[in-house]
Structure 1
Amino acid sequence: MARTRLKAARLGPRDVLHVGSAGLRSRPMRVILSALGIAIGIATMISVVGISASSKAQLMERLDKLGTSMLVATPGEGMFSGEDVKLPKGSLGMLGRIEGIEEAAATGDVKEAVRRSEKISDDETGGIAVKASTEELLKVLRGKAARGTWLNKANGRYPSVVLGHVSAQRLGITSPGQQVYIGDRYFTVVGILAPLPLSPEIERSALVGWEAAQKLLGFDGHPTSLYERSTEASVAAVRKLIAPTVDPRNPQNVRVTDPSSALQAKAASEGAFSSLLLGLGGIALLVGGVGVANTMIISVLERRYEIGLRRSLGATRGQIRIQFVTESLMLSGLGGLAGVAMGSVATWIYATSGGLPWVVPAWAVVGGFGATLVIGTVAGLYPAVRAARLSPTLALHAA
């Protein structure tokens, strides 16, 4: 009569989860401490990526709002050392002839200082420049007056001044209607500008109407800076035409810059320093994986009787391996979930306190949690193999 060979019963997914979680349920404090190392590593990585992404998102929002289609033309360096280079008086009109330019404005340096009163020395300028400005400047800069109004055809002919928000702070001016001393007379402050990230030189200026600057402050009418807005598609072409159009005889005397390039470079470099912090997070994650491996090895040593009993009742080596690998995966997975939650909360706190948009990239969450599963698998392999190799007889005898 043929002898029937017995086959071990298969473990279904539910059975695997049940036996794999048995060790976790019996030692909750050890589970918490072991998962904490994984959680700290993942939280560090998620928060570093999230904070970097939130900062970059804010920069991109500012770029979208301010636009990247503005160029600024200023006097360049002359052919001879010490040469006083000036833009032609009619350069603003010539700039407007370039195809693709939608708006243009100009400012010109005025050789006068602005002070709170005539009692203050001329040398104490507070780093504030006085500039003549055309009426279109605020529109080209996409700025706005935080308080009061901007220069127009009416107030631009009289002793009126608009202060950049930095210059208003340095002068102690808090509201329109107050006066400042420029040249040999008082000018009435008609407006204070909101911050202009693309034009820090305007933030630190006192702006006077073009006509008033010529009539009251001896302004010579030569623009110092030309600002233009063109369509996004024509920026490169316009940039090539500005210098030869503004000063056909000496195009080398005209320098063209892109104010948004600084923000673009900052956005591009955002996260460069984060690589170091990501490395530290990776080290913490690796240390957490070592902790999981140690926990699993100790678990195998403590549960030799359980392993021997299961083997004697028919459990195969493969089933023992699956049990301990599953336990390791669940332990790492708990730490990974906690780390993702901790990192997301840390990013939210940072973003909220700094007025940034809250951004946690999906790839960081998926990648971070996936890394915990990989570490859990690797950390559980050796203890699982060791448990599977235990002899049922010796395990029961040792117990």
Structure 2
Amino acid sequence: MSRTRPARAFGPRPVRRPRSQPRPTRMKAADVLRVGGAGLRTRPTRVLLSALGIALGVAALIAVVGVSASGRENLDRRLDALGTNLLTAAPGKTATGAAAGLPPDAVAMVARIGPVEAVSAIGKTGAKVYRNDRIPPQESGGIGVYAARLDLPATVGTSLAHGTWLNPANEGYPAVVLGPVAAARLGVRAPGPDVQVWLGRRWFTVIGILAPAPLAAELDTAALVGWPEARRDLDFDGNPTTVYTRADNASIADVAAVLGATANPANPNEVEVSRPSDALAAREAADDALNGLLVGLGSVALLVGGVGVANTMVISVLERRAEIGLRRALGATRGHIGTQFLSEALLLSVLGGAGGILLGSAATVGYSTYRHWPAVVPPWAMAGGLVATLVVGVCAGLYPALRAAHLAPTEALAAA
């Protein structure tokens, strides 16, 4: 009995599904670092030179920002110690252009202003000071001789570097206190009973040397004698030439507005009122402008370093075409190849950025120590330098990575 096949039901023939192709593997982070690092280890000299370009750019940025921040911190500490509430009143010019003056009772009148906390003054004399009595009178050495009130150091915020200050016992005698610059010009290193200078027409004993006065720089080059002694032996007329005023911080603007009229009620427009701390702040602003220029130069250096990284990666692609073709033939995808070369560029930039941060921080600490400043390296500057290197690495490695990824396996192997 013959077997017959059952009749096939009407309808479309079932389609046999092809076997699914294996999905391309994805590179893990560890694999990316391993493959990228292997490319850098094979060319250490070229990698070092390229990373050095990045490092110099980042170091310049970090050092400029760090030195600027350190200088600003030093200024803030100095101003905190010296105070920003010091005002000075000095004679200006008359309507005819002649030199004006302050009345003898200017200090007493300024002291009656309510918010004024302290007031002192100096008065310029016509005397000259010399190391001995044999120096020609024409050679003054740029040292001014001033009559000084006893409360001057406390008012201007300075102190004695050596010796003692004038007091009620010696202000009427030939005793002198020298500013630090004046002492250096006269060759006086330390005060003493046997240390004398020729001042006016007689010998004066040096009893003290002032420390630098940042808010009263004119005192650094001054020889200061007692007010009574200046009137008796130096032909001093008793008129102050600079009045120093400490006022309450909350009322500093109000005191500045009335200081000129109070110091010289007869001619208030002939008085020049200034705030020495503003001069320090203005100098810091000028330093900030210079720092901005240096930051621009650092950015250019960073850009040049990025160009060096890009050049290194392009050459690396050309030299490693055989490797690229072999990897593609063994199943590596374009994404694998592109990721490899992009990771190399990023690692190269990160190495340069880390080195630049260390170099810039070391330069900041070294310069700040040399200037006796507090060393300050803002964290945002270090973070910004690292981010900048990453951006440079991406931009520098993107084109070489795309070029390597689109290189056909046969073409790469044939060119090799």
TM-score range normalised by the length of the shorter chain: over 0.9
Code of the aligned partner of 1:272: A
2:110 aligned residue: 95
Q: Judging changes above 3 Å, is the alpha-carbon distance between structure 1 residues 37 and 91 closer, same or farther for their aligned structure 2 residues?
A: same
2:131 aligned residue: 116
1:62 pairs with 2:78:
yes
1:129 aligned residue: 144
Unaligned segments of structure 2, at least 5 residues: 1-15
Code of the aligned partner of 2:162: R
1:330 pairs with 2:347:
yes
Code of the aligned partner of 2:114: E
2:157 aligned residue: 142
Q: Which whole-Å CA distance do the structure 2 matches of 1:305 and 1:117 have between them?
A: 87
> Pick from 246, 254, 259: which aligns with 1:242?
259
Residue-by-residue CA offset, 1:359-399 (whole Å, 9 max, x unaligned): 22323222222111111111111111111112223334444
2:363 aligned residue: 346
Q: Which whole-Å CA distance do the structure 1 matches of 2:344 and 2:111 have between them?
A: 72
Residue-by-residue CA offset, 1:141-192 (whole Å, 9 max, x unaligned): 1111111100111111222111111122222222222122233322222111
Report the CA distance between 1:87 and its aligned residue.
1.3
Report the CA distance between 1:195 and its aligned residue.
1.2
2:288 aligned residue: 271
Code of the aligned partner of 1:118: D
1:212 aligned residue: 229
Q: Judging changes above 3 Å, is the alpha-carbon distance between structure 1 residues 218 and 291 closer, same or farther for their aligned structure 2 residues?
A: closer
> Pick from 155, 169, 190: which aligns with 2:184?
169
1:188 pairs with 2:212:
no
1:13 aligned residue: 29
1:31 pairs with 2:47:
yes
Code of the aligned partner of 1:114: V
- Secondary structure of residue in 1 paired with 2:171: helix
Normalised to the residue count of structure 2, the TM-score between the two structures is 0.90
Code of the aligned partner of 1:209: G
Normalised to the residue count of structure 1, the TM-score between the two structures is 0.93
Percentage of identical aligned residues: 52
The structure with the largest alpha-carbon Rg is 2
Code of the aligned partner of 1:69: N
Residue-by-residue CA offset, 1:291-345 (whole Å, 9 max, x unaligned): 2122212222232233233323332222221121111101111111112112222
Q: Which stretch of structure 1 is more off in the superposition, 295-304 or 55-64?
A: 55-64
Report the CA distance between 1:59 and its aligned residue.
2.9
2:64 aligned residue: 48
Residue-by-residue CA offset, 1:103-130 (whole Å, 9 max, x unaligned): 1101112222222333333333222222
Report the CA distance between 1:211 and its aligned residue.
1.7
The answer as to whether partners of 1:60 and 1:267 remain within 8 angstroms in 2 is no
Consecutive aligned runs of 4 or more in structure 1 exceeding 6 Å deviation = none
2:173 aligned residue: 158
1:373 aligned residue: 390
RMSD of the TM alignment (CA)? 1.9
Code of the aligned partner of 1:233: A
